[in-house]
Structure 1
């Protein structure tokens, strides 16, 4: 069982001083009750793994048992295509009542229209005291409206194969920087004759690495609040040059080979065979990486530049739960949301399938029931300790991300040099930012 002191420390990181006292209070609710209440059908949309689907369905079954007047229709899928589907539903007024949303999306959604109900209007239904006020303000509030509530707290880390590290005499307390990543990765490649690869990476990972590098060097946001770039061409060339070196030295797998598994390392044959050393990901993905393999998975802090002006480590909600503005049953959706996020029975059923809970009530319930995965807890705590300034909204604009990811793809397939990629990323992002600004 996880020790009380460890849970308390985690509470400090997750909730800060505003909600520390909440770590000792489960905040359990008992549902809405049955009786002759009006029959209501709610739709709930989410993405996730099989484990998340199974445990969420079990929680919904329990909720419907406690609330016979409510029927919850589950709509769930994998991550691919989810955002576009949700955009279409929100724009057409056909979105489900309760929706799992990736936190970076809310900036784009908020610029289109009021897509989500302001959860501040449901303070008599949803217990907001279990969430850290600053955490909500940093990640869930836009236009003075509470767009959603965090299901959990998470941060970017490196997950690694402990047996792989032992095989290549890589200390398990290694702090990777941009230079020793190249040195160690090249050694692994050479000693294995190219069979083993230190770092799993594709276009998305390359973009994340590019953003981290320039932010660590400048201390600025990747995209400034005034819609200008937070980096110049020489710095872009420098950062992209490192990425090219990683490809050429075999530190990462060629894109042509990694493409089918870009966001699904847990399904990559090289991972199952123990031929990958590590990957950048979120703590909640560790169980899927551990499933079906004969080695132990650990967590390390993000790649960090010596003398970095900011860590650039992304920490944010695992996901948000939001209520569609178009919902005809917003109050019932708010009751379901409160139960899922704050009720002790719901917490035990759901476990940590959405990360370490951001609600102090749910966190306390899981700790008491010995339902917290210590590896996920330790990884989340590690990410929170190294947290950088939250990314601003414009940095996560979907059009900007698409432009930058496509350029990383060209670099990865050797269809562009670092100089050419730097010119293109500055030209294309600047043009799109001017367009976005003109519509504000």
Structure 2
């Protein structure tokens, strides 16, 4: 099994002798601004340096840097360094930074990490205690409270609202006679995928990132039972037989040619379609992602693309479609300048100029006023809006902390890959996964 991110966090924390302030550099991929705060003499204001980190695509990076530059123009004496990277490495680095006291002053947080971070002594300030600086009045309060924290603890401010769905190449669908007029079931997907691959062995209907491969198992369980795969008591709601059906789905996707072989996709399982040659060349016709990642894919695709609601199970009790914050902006407790960090966050999510600069690069804004403003100006792409609308039209329910646990996801990924590579049969993988998850849940239960 691969190294656990939380093991890194705990090991580093145990070996630390002292914690540095959050203004340190910490080996960043990208930084900008002065390296150290400078105190001016006389009556001049102290110059403050903040660090801001996030993940994402190039268009998100460019828009965010432009917003940072504008904020510094408007606020002399504030310098903001930035660091950005891919999603697959971000969380592990953040945990290492938190354990070593080298974390940025403003951190981007994914909703899947909330439970783990709360269980690790809540290393971020409670945004509910900063509402005199950060205005949350224009946000859907139910969404903020349900998806951005636990009880009265708010870990961060949501930048946008995101939903998962499918994106397809219109020309590809037309070429192989596929229809998008109705929602697809998993069986529809397999039937269409086999049809495509029989016509052209080099063509495949679907390819998935590792994250979505993990969601496949969680989705099938949630669609069947109408509940998260693991309940709030850290108990599996599914049986070993259920997990066998999930592993069989992985095998069917490969055996029918619906998906390329795992050997073909291994280089691309942690990147989006805009970096996948077979997608850009029109050989792979559909992918699954969240709408906040659509702008870069749409911009890079040399063909028309449209969205499709996520695949469902016949007679399913839940759509299993994920609606969540795109990313939240949080302030570590160790931050030396929490008030200035909060002022920047407030500007970033509420100021009309900042909203226009960042547009839909973090999905549809969670700020209702910002969303309406961008929509009127045509600054929310049709695809981003369509995928969210399709998700909101069906029954959705929040994912819980145990189901989103990083070690649970790693176990599902590990066994899914074993089946995908043909190294395990579904029944063997299901038995191993069920046993591993049962042991793991006993270990991680608070």
TM-score (normalised: structure 2): 0.88
Secondary structure of the structure 2 residue equivalent to 1:81: helix
**Is the CA contact (8 Å cut-off) linking 2:145 and 2:151 kept in structure 1?**
no
- Which structure 1 residue ranges, 5 or more long, are not aligned? 1-34
Secondary structure of the structure 1 residue equivalent to 2:307: strand
Partner of 2:223 in structure 1? 216
**Is the CA contact (8 Å cut-off) linking 1:189 and 1:195 kept in structure 2?**
yes
Bigger Cα displacement from structure 2, 305-314 vs 260-269: 260-269
Partner of 1:15 in structure 2? none
Secondary structure of the structure 2 residue equivalent to 1:156: strand
From the superposition, tell whether residues 286 and 203 of structure 1 become closer, same or farther in structure 2 (CA, over 3 Å).
closer
Offset of 1:435 from its aligned partner? 0.7
**Correspondence list, 1:256-295, <5 A:** 256-264=263-271, 265-295=273-303
Cα shift readout 1:97-156 (whole Å, capped 9, x = no counterpart): 111111111211111112100111111111111111111111112252110011100111
Secondary structure of the structure 2 residue equivalent to 1:80: helix
**Is the CA contact (8 Å cut-off) linking 2:212 and 2:289 kept in structure 1?**
no
In 1: Cα distance, 2:412 partner to 2:347 partner: 39
Counterpart selection for 1:345 from 344, 353, 357 = 353
**Correspondence list, 1:58-69, <5 A:** 58-69=66-77
Counterpart selection for 1:429 from 420, 429, 437 = 437
- Which structure 2 residue ranges, 5 or more long, are not aligned? 1-42
Cα shift readout 1:189-214 (whole Å, capped 9, x = no counterpart): 0011x111011025433321111111
In 2: Cα distance, 1:204 partner to 1:411 partner: 16
Partner of 1:85 in structure 2? 93
Offset of 1:267 from its aligned partner? 1.5
**Is the CA contact (8 Å cut-off) linking 1:148 and 1:320 kept in structure 2?**
yes
Counterpart selection for 1:205 from 203, 212, 229 = 212
Partner of 1:4 in structure 2? none
**Is the CA contact (8 Å cut-off) linking 1:154 and 1:383 kept in structure 2?**
no
Partner of 1:248 in structure 2? 255
In 2: Cα distance, 1:205 partner to 1:142 partner: 25
**Correspondence list, 1:231-242, <5 A:** 231-242=238-249
In 2: Cα distance, 1:36 partner to 1:372 partner: 42
Partner of 1:56 in structure 2? 64
**Correspondence list, 1:157-236, <5 A:** 157-192=165-200, 194-236=201-243
Offset of 1:160 from its aligned partner? 0.4
Offset of 1:236 from its aligned partner? 1.5
Cα shift readout 1:149-185 (whole Å, capped 9, x = no counterpart): 1110011100000000001111122421121111111
**Correspondence list, 1:291-310, <5 A:** 291-310=299-318
Partner of 1:362 in structure 2? 370
From the superposition, tell whether residues 370 and 293 of structure 1 become closer, same or farther in structure 2 (CA, over 3 Å).
closer
Which structure is higher in RCO with an 8 Å CA cutoff and minimum separation 6?
Answer: 1
From the superposition, tell whether residues 423 and 378 of structure 1 become closer, same or farther in structure 2 (CA, over 3 Å).
same
TM-score (normalised: structure 1): 0.89
From the superposition, tell whether residues 125 and 292 of structure 1 become closer, same or farther in structure 2 (CA, over 3 Å).
closer
Counterpart selection for 1:335 from 343, 347, 350 = 343
Offset of 1:364 from its aligned partner? 2.8
Partner of 2:108 in structure 1? 100
Offset of 1:361 from its aligned partner? 2.8
Secondary structure of the structure 2 residue equivalent to 1:246: helix
**Is the CA contact (8 Å cut-off) linking 1:289 and 1:297 kept in structure 2?**
no
Structure 1 runs of 4+ off > 3 angstroms?
A: 35-38
- Aligned-pair Cα RMSD in Å: 1.4
In 2: Cα distance, 1:280 partner to 1:371 partner: 23
Partner of 1:5 in structure 2? none
Partner of 2:422 in structure 1? 414
**Is the CA contact (8 Å cut-off) linking 2:124 and 2:330 kept in structure 1?**
yes
Offset of 1:48 from its aligned partner? 1.4
Secondary structure of the structure 1 residue equivalent to 2:398: coil
In 2: Cα distance, 1:156 partner to 1:275 partner: 22
How many positions carry a matched residue from both structures?
403
**Is the CA contact (8 Å cut-off) linking 2:157 and 2:329 kept in structure 1?**
yes
Partner of 1:371 in structure 2? 379
Matched, 1:394 2:402: yes
Matched, 1:121 2:129: yes
Secondary structure of the structure 1 residue equivalent to 2:79: strand
**Is the CA contact (8 Å cut-off) linking 1:255 and 1:413 kept in structure 2?**
yes
**Is the CA contact (8 Å cut-off) linking 2:59 and 2:296 kept in structure 1?**
no
Bigger Cα displacement from structure 2, 75-84 vs 331-340: 75-84
